[in-house]
Amino acid sequence: MKKITIMLACGNGMSTSLLANKMQAAADKEGLDAEVFAGAVKTIPQEMDKRHPDVVLIGPQVRYVVPELKEKLSVPVEMINTMDYGLMNGEHVLATAKKLISQNN
């Protein structure tokens, strides 16, 4: 599998940073060539141009942006499962991201 890039986004990128770190650790443990990073929702357009994420996952607290982003972006956009987000379950969210990417290819 080619390198995958996963962006997590929330209001300011703070709460998703911890989850991104846990996802990166899970990817490293799997031997997956992945870059997982977090940012604020407002930075998504710049990150699309700069890092070209394969999927964008949105924190539950800003779920209202998902429909608009699905229309604007050419990659899968989904809200992070609330339970996985609350538990900071990097393995589950990584599995979701991989599934979305494979469905898009």
The whole-number pLDDT of residue 67 equals: 97
Q: Which amino acid is at 27?
A: A
Residue extents of the structural domains in the chain: 4-104
Identify how many contiguous H helices and E strands the chain contains and give both numbers: 5, 4
Query: Is residue 76 within 8 Å of 56, Cβ to Cβ?
Result: yes
The secondary element (H helix, E strand) that includes residue 9 is: strand 4-10
Asked if 10 is an active-site residue, the reply is yes
Please state which architecture CATH assigns to domain 4-104.
Answer: 3-Layer(aba) Sandwich (3.40)
The whole-number pLDDT of residue 98 equals: 97
Mean pLDDT for the stretch of residues 5-25: 94
Instruction: Check pLDDT > 70 for residue 1.
Output: no
Over residues 40-99, the pLDDT tens digits come to 999 999 999 999 999 999 999 999 999 999 999 999 999 999 999 999 999 999 999 999
In angstroms, the CA 10 to CA 33 distance is 24
**Of 6, 10, 36, 77, which is the active-site residue?**
10
